[in-house]
Amino acid sequence: MATTLDPPAVATLRWQVRPSARKMADKASRAAIERAGLQVGEIDLLLNTGLYHDRNLGEPALAALIQEDVGINPEDPHAGVHGTFSFDIANGGCGVLTALQVADGFLQSGTIDHALVVASDADPGHGMAPGFPFSAKGAAVVCHWEDGPSGLVGFQWEIVPEDGDLFRSRFGFERGRNRLRVEQDPDFGCRAAAWAGRTATSLLADHAIRPADVDLVVATPLTPAFLEGLSTHLGIGSERVVAVEGAEHVHTAALIVALAAAEEQGRLNEAHRVLLISAGAGIVVGAAVLVR
Amino acid sequence: MPRTWLMMEQSPDGGRAPYVARFESIGRRLPTTRLTTEELMASTRHRTRIDLERLTGIHERRVSAGAEDSLSLAAGAATDCLRRSRYGPDDLQVLASCSITKYRDGLTQWLEPPMSLAVAQQIGATNATAFDISNACAGMLTGVFVVANRIRRGEIDCGMVVSGEYISQLGQNAAKHVRHVLSDELASLTLGDAGAAVILERAPQGGPGIAVAGFTTVSEHSRLCLAYPARHDQGARMFTKSRSIHRVAIADTPVLLHEALDAAGLAITDIDHVIPHQTSARAIRKGMKDLCEALGGAPKNPAVVTVDHYGNTASTTHFVALVEELMAGHLHPGDQVALVALASGLEIGVVLFTVDDGLVSLYGHDA
């Protein structure tokens, strides 16, 4: 018995001059719910983990706006049905993995039947983010509890504050207005790969899984430096690590984007043991085992 | 399928969540500088003729004089919480930072790394998994819901939920723009700065703790309160349709509180203390009157009001108020407390817990 992921969905808004992160999240959420074979009202918990959205809205949680846009039980409480709870989780590039763990907790306790995890980033616009470095992309996945042997069977985290300066993102007042400044050291990918490799190796050992028994590694960020470094540190050949062409600048949605790519390539369905890994600013690294 | 509108957890709850979470320690940090409503209204750019103190019941609020920001308030509250706790920072297995504002080094809003990492680092919580939750003024109670879930299932023994809100700068920005009583930035003038932290742990077998926690998002009202970074001022601006929020809260809260009370096997008359979100003293009293009429009874004591002297401190209000009540000796072992969240989203949440000897004794009162 474990938390199982339904087929993920990815969204872009190709023809817009400035894509809206919220609208991409809406689109990805609708598609993920449809791919899970559900009605929108069946989602009990909605977790948004995207960080960069329209005007950098600070309040309310973007999740609430997504819930209303998608029409997931938006109305006032009434008898005979259930509502939906929505909020945001922020953990940089590890947000999706954190949200999966939170959703897993509420699924394990039987509190909910279905959770939707969504992430999207785009230039906040209004001149707030000159040189915004991340690709406009949204992605979402539904998870549910299943009685069979497949699903998420363990999470492990490590925080490495000594490398905290390698990735920083701040809104500050510069030249008369609030501007976003994202600073990423060129060494971030290599350093993050080393820490992620260590954490994932420890997780595998806890579950008595040898690196050779891992069929697929779905890891983020999707940069060559991180993925190549991770492959080396894990001792798992790069052919078993999912790479997604053109996705190296996808940020919080990257883990779901990589899952979707693996599914589309048919690799996810063939894999028995999948290692999910994320690294983000902090440095925070997280790993989970997905048994299928 | 959940049987209630609220996404709700009841403790204990059989084999999948056999444990109960309790509040082990609560701490807070308040800036020492006081700003009266009279002083704030005297600073408005336009001659507003608004008697804000009469409208809201807020006499003063605590504000950062520049030395405090979201991080220092959060870390200060976490340190205060640990000072009363039998846990050390190394014992914390999870740390969730739940503030709306994430200002460090003054008014620089940090998006990455998350605020929780900075708090963990400042207090020495080296073994804690850390992440941020963002859910407007319901942030800390949402954090309690998430951390309590892990405790209930036995995944962890203890964790901290923390928040630091440096929001008085929204009031300073609003003072430049508010012209009349219908201004959608009027609510920004009610804000005050504060930090709060709570450690949750597994309650002893059969011991009291959080009996019920339930939350929902009534998202058709999600756009009634929106806050953004200011375009040409430092900090942020918030735009609120206060009357509409109040109307929805009065309409929706009774049915949701009734659900939570039902799950706990309690009536409103069994509740000793209701601690609502602190928006304005007048709104709280009017809201409680309507709530009592809808539920056919009243709690044993009037609703707790701290907004009159601390202002609306956003996600920290319930724990700022809890510390106030504990320090004043108003809470006694066995008391039933209802924490009621109301936040932009529109988020409504209820946490019902029983006060125990351990919590009371931390604040210098005999159990």
Site from B137, B219, B222, B241 to mutate, A interface, most A CB atoms within 10 angstroms: B219
Do A187 and A101 share a structural domain?
no
Interchain pair B344, A75: CB under 8 A: no
Kindly state whether B130 is in contact with chain A, defined as any CB-CB distance less than 8 angstroms: yes
Question: Is residue B1 very low, low, confident or very high in pLDDT (cuts 50, 70, 90)?
Answer: very low
Query: Do residues A84 and B214 touch, judged by C-beta distance below 8 A?
Result: no
Kindly state whether A164 is in contact with chain B, defined as any CB-CB distance less than 8 angstroms: yes
pLDDT tens column, B221-272: 999 999 998 888 888 999 999 889 989 999 999 999 999 999 999 999 999 9
Closest residue of chain A to B214, computed from CA coordinates: A85
Token representation of residue B360: 């009371």
Do A203 and A220 share a structural domain?
yes
Distance from CA of B294 to the nearest CA of A (A): 15
Kindly state whether A126 is in contact with chain B, defined as any CB-CB distance less than 8 angstroms: yes
Closest residue of chain B to A53, computed from CA coordinates: B228
Question: Is residue A292 very low, low, confident or very high in pLDDT (cuts 50, 70, 90)?
Answer: confident
Q: Which of B13, B133, B216 is closest, CB to CB, to A85? A: B216
pLDDT tens column, B25-72: 999 999 999 999 999 999 999 888 889 999 999 999 999 998 999 999
Do A173 and A67 share a structural domain?
no
Kindly state whether B13 is in contact with chain A, defined as any CB-CB distance less than 8 angstroms: yes
Predicted structure pTM score: 0.97
Kindly state whether B187 is in contact with chain A, defined as any CB-CB distance less than 8 angstroms: no
Kindly state whether A252 is in contact with chain B, defined as any CB-CB distance less than 8 angstroms: no
Look-up of token digits 């030249």? A175
Token representation of residue A42: 């069946």
Which residues lie below 8 Å from residue A105, measured CB to CB, with a gap of 6+? B146, B149, B150, B153, B155
Distance from CA of B19 to the nearest CA of A (A): 11
Token representation of residue B188: 């920004």
Q: Per-residue pLDDT averaged across B346-366, rounded?
A: 91
Question: Is residue B2 very low, low, confident or very high in pLDDT (cuts 50, 70, 90)?
Answer: very low
Kindly state whether A280 is in contact with chain B, defined as any CB-CB distance less than 8 angstroms: yes
- Among B1, B11, B332, B312, residue whose Cα is nearest residue B144: B11
Interchain pair A58, B347: CB under 8 A: no
Question: Is residue A81 very low, low, confident or very high in pLDDT (cuts 50, 70, 90)?
Answer: confident
Q: Rounded to 10 degrees, what is the CA torsion of A210, A216, A219, A222?
A: 140
Residues of A in contact with B1 (CB under 8 A): 82, 113
Question: Is residue A149 very low, low, confident or very high in pLDDT (cuts 50, 70, 90)?
Answer: confident
Do A245 and A188 share a structural domain?
yes
Query: Do residues B160 and B78 touch, judged by C-beta distance below 8 A?
Result: yes
Token representation of residue A257: 């984007």
Q: Per-residue pLDDT averaged across A37-47, rounded?
A: 97
Question: Is residue B105 very low, low, confident or very high in pLDDT (cuts 50, 70, 90)?
Answer: confident
d(CA B354, CA B332): 9
Interchain pair A77, B2: CB under 8 A: no
Do A268 and A170 share a structural domain?
yes
pLDDT tens column, A208-235: 999 999 999 999 999 999 999 999 999 9
User: Which CATH number fits the domain that encloses residue A247?
Assistant: 3.40.47.10
Q: What is the pLDDT of residue B80?
A: 97
Q: Produce one character per residue of A189-226: b if its CB has 16 or more CB atoms within 10 Å, e if not.
A: bbbbbbbbbbbbbebbeeeebebeebebbbbbbbbebb
Domain of A34 in residue numbering reads as: 2-148
Q: Per-residue pLDDT averaged across A38-49, rounded?
A: 97
Do A102 and A127 share a structural domain?
yes
Helix axes A254-264, A95-108, angle to 10 degrees: 80
SS3 A206: helix
Please identify, among A148, A180, A210, the residue that sits at the C-terminal boundary of a domain: A148
d(CA B103, CA B362): 30
d(CA B201, CA B210): 10
Give me the sheet containing B7-10, strands edge to edge.
Answer: B7-10, B210-217, B347-354, B336-343, B273-276
Interchain pair A85, B220: CB under 8 A: no
d(CA B242, CA B189): 12
| Sign of the dihedral through C-alpha B336, B245, B6, B259 | positive
Q: Which of residues 146-185 of B touch A (CB under 8 A)?
A: 146, 149-150, 152-153, 155
d(CA A75, CA A81): 11
Q: Which of B101, B110, B134 is closest, CB to CB, to A87? A: B134
Do A40 and A142 share a structural domain?
yes
Q: Per-residue pLDDT averaged across B328-349, rounded?
A: 96
Kindly state whether B110 is in contact with chain A, defined as any CB-CB distance less than 8 angstroms: yes
Please identify, among A119, A148, A177, the residue that sits at the C-terminal boundary of a domain: A148
The secondary structure of residue A225, as a DSSP letter, is H
**Beta-sheet pairing, A177-184 with A216-220:** unpaired
Query: Do residues A152 and A117 touch, judged by C-beta distance below 8 A?
Result: no
Q: Which of B7, B255, B346 is closest, CB to CB, to A111? A: B7
Interchain pair B225, A45: CB under 8 A: no
Do A144 and A252 share a structural domain?
no
Distance from CA of A46 to the nearest CA of B (A): 10
Token representation of residue A39: 């009605």
Residues of A in contact with B230 (CB under 8 A): 178
Interchain pair A110, B16: CB under 8 A: yes
d(CA A155, CA B65): 42
Kindly state whether B33 is in contact with chain A, defined as any CB-CB distance less than 8 angstroms: no
Q: What is the pLDDT of residue A19?
A: 87
Site from B134, B144, B221 to mutate, A interface, most A CB atoms within 10 angstroms: B134
Could you tell me where the beta strands, DSSP code E, fall in A136-186?
137-146, 151-159, 167-174, 177-184
User: pLDDT averaged over chain A?
Assistant: 94
Interchain pair B120, A81: CB under 8 A: no
Number of domains comprising chain A = 2
Phi/psi at A256 (5° precision): -75, -35
- Among A135, A139, A102, A98, residue whose Cα is nearest residue A258: A139
Q: What is the pLDDT of residue B233?
A: 86
Which residues lie below 8 Å from residue B262, measured CB to CB, with a gap of 6+? none
Q: Which of B113, B135, B218 is closest, CB to CB, to A281? A: B113
Interchain pair A168, B112: CB under 8 A: yes
Do A7 and A97 share a structural domain?
yes
The secondary structure of residue B100, as a DSSP letter, is S
Phi/psi at A47 (5° precision): -115, 120
Q: Where in chain B is the domain with CATH 3.40.47.10?
A: 7-12+207-361, 21-202
Please identify, among A99, A117, A148, the residue that sits at the C-terminal boundary of a domain: A148
Residues of A in contact with B3 (CB under 8 A): 82
Rounded percentage of chain B residues whose pLDDT exceeds 70: 99
Q: What is the pLDDT of residue A234?
A: 95
Q: What angle do CA A60, A63, A69 make, to 5 degrees?
A: 100
Closest residue of chain B to A156, computed from CA coordinates: B129
Q: Which CATH number fits domain B7-12+207-361: 3.10.129.10, 3.40.47.10, 3.30.200.20, 3.50.50.60?
A: 3.40.47.10
| Residue B135: alpha-carbon gap to chain centroid | 11
pLDDT tens column, B141-168: 999 999 999 999 999 999 999 999 999 9
| Sign of the dihedral through C-alpha B353, B357, B362, B363 | positive
Do A166 and A139 share a structural domain?
no
d(CA A111, CA A90): 22
Q: Which of B114, B136, B229 is closest, CB to CB, to A171? A: B229
Q: What is the pLDDT of residue B366?
A: 53
In one-letter notation, the amino acid at residue B10 is Q
The secondary structure of residue A78, as a DSSP letter, is -
| CATH code assigned to B21-202 | 3.40.47.10
Q: What is the pLDDT of residue B365?
A: 65
Do A262 and A193 share a structural domain?
yes
d(CA B139, CA B144): 9
Q: Produce one character per residue of B300-318: b if its CB has 16 or more CB atoms within 10 Å, e if not.
A: eeebbbbbbbbbbbbbbbb
Distance from CA of A4 to the nearest CA of B (A): 17
- Among A215, A208, A198, A184, residue whose Cα is nearest residue A287: A198
- Among A142, A108, A123, residue whose Cα is nearest residue A32: A142
Do A9 and A105 share a structural domain?
yes
What are the distances in angstroms from CA A214 to CA A198, A220, A228, B242?
Answer: 15, 17, 16, 54
d(CA A47, CA B187): 27
